Amino acid sequence: MSYFDAASSAPLHPVARQALLASLDEGWADPARLYREGRRARLLLDAAREAAAEAVGCRPDELTFMSSGTRAVHAGVAGALAGRRRIGRHLIVSAVEHSSVLHSAEEWEAAGGAVTTVAVDRGGAVAVEGYEAAVRPDTALACLQSANHEVGTEQPVAEVAEVCRAAGVPLLVDAAQSLGWGAVAGPWSLLTASAHKWGGPSGVGLLAVRKGVRFAVQGPVYERESGRAAGFENLPAIVAAAASLRAVRAEAAQEAVRLRELTERIRARVPELVPDVEVVGDPVRRLPGVVTFSCLYVDGETLLHELDREGFSVSSGSSCTSSTLTPSHVLRAMGVLSEGNVRVSLPAGTPAEDVERFLNVLPGAVATVREKLGVPIPVTVREEDTLVVDALGKRCPIPVIELAKVIGDVPVGATIRVLSDDEAARLDIPAWCEMRAQEYVGEEPAEKGTAYLVRRLR
């Protein structure tokens, strides 16, 4: 079995396993106590904090160990906003942030705060000018991920941090996906990360708050971890997290070169091997091991199951794999195809042979899914010069399949009106038009669902 979902959770690094087992014997006591066992535990905790702080690029007393990366984000956003409440109640986020950031923003807005969402381009990157324009006199905090978790696009964090510093606004960076590859550049103010993303154990998050940043802990304040994290430290997991972060960093430069070569091979060959595919994400500024593509006329969940049967564990941002049948907020913000979306994220050490086998298996898997899905005969009617395709009640990817089947039935310049009540159609029909060089005219309300208008150009 080939595990290609490291962006969700990386396999436990051998160093993490060794450190975890060793610290279970040595680090079980309370590090706040003064007796021998407590002092031994404290030495382990202090050493772990120093190692992690060195990797982050902050002082040890600026770093807090949290119970998860999500908890670190929630605590970081809430604490920074509360600390600057006299400045204002305005928060800036990007449209492709991790859900932990977006959920914090939703909660802030529900409590009466203001939120500005900065858009991204088709590659998934923000423009520095977008943050510059979003900053206001009452801006309390800005958030920007270092790299995207679904498509691998790296963000211009250093440049945005300079903009924020010039405006006197702290920037919180979610570095969950990138910290294992290197420190985050630029004058950021707060940083969060999650150990299981770089091969550490789950249940350990990092929150770094620079000295001088106004920060007010929300909720009860405890004596541990500078009052920012409640409860007894999971010392064995913390030691393993810090040890593995140091280990992966030592290997990062060489491994990044190798993984980039493998993902570049996937990016180049998938469109050659499989028809009707869109590779998404920035082609240059991206994480070493992540490549994402979407396949037209494919049910994403079925494709993932087919690849699993062939021995490959991958993930997807397709609406077809979601119980809500709504596309990933990342793909939606980028305006790219969501059908049959596949994210391949290679863990360190992935053999080149596994990638070759994936490329050999993928065309057959996609063909099998397309055959299994079947193509229904579209229900069409003519309204003067417009062909109407009734896809009501049919889910991703059926509306686009039916559109593709009838585009040749109308003359160049004529319009097709696709009726759909699937939210994914709002993203996938415009994306299909761009891939097929047809004109997406827009959408309009219909008696049931929404009508999407497409004009045939060729």
CB distance 226 to 14 below 8 Å: no
CB distance 68 to 260 below 8 Å: no
The whole-angstrom distance between residue 350's C-alpha and the CA centroid of its chain comes to 21
The helix or strand, by DSSP H or E, that contains position 357, with its residue range, turns out to be: helix 352-373
Query: How many Å from the N-terminal Cα to the C-terminal Cα in the chain?
Result: 44
- Which position among 58, 143, 295, 320 bears the catalytic label? 320
CB distance 86 to 139 below 8 Å: no
Could you confirm whether 320 is annotated as catalytic?
Answer: yes
Distance CA 70, CA 62 (A): 18
Sequence-ordered strand ranges (E) for 259-340? 277-280, 290-295, 312-313
User: Which two three-digit tokens encode residue 410?
Assistant: 């109308």
What's the alpha-carbon Rg for the chain, to the nearest Å? 24
User: Which two three-digit tokens encode residue 239?
Assistant: 């030691």
Distance CA 430, CA 400 (A): 10
CB distance 424 to 325 below 8 Å: yes
Residues 6+ positions from 347 with CB-CB distance below 8 Å: 3, 4, 6, 10, 11, 199, 289
Question: How buried is 22 (Cβ within 10 angstroms: 0-12 exposed, 13-18 middle, 19+ buried)?
Answer: middle
- Residues annotated as part of the active site: 320
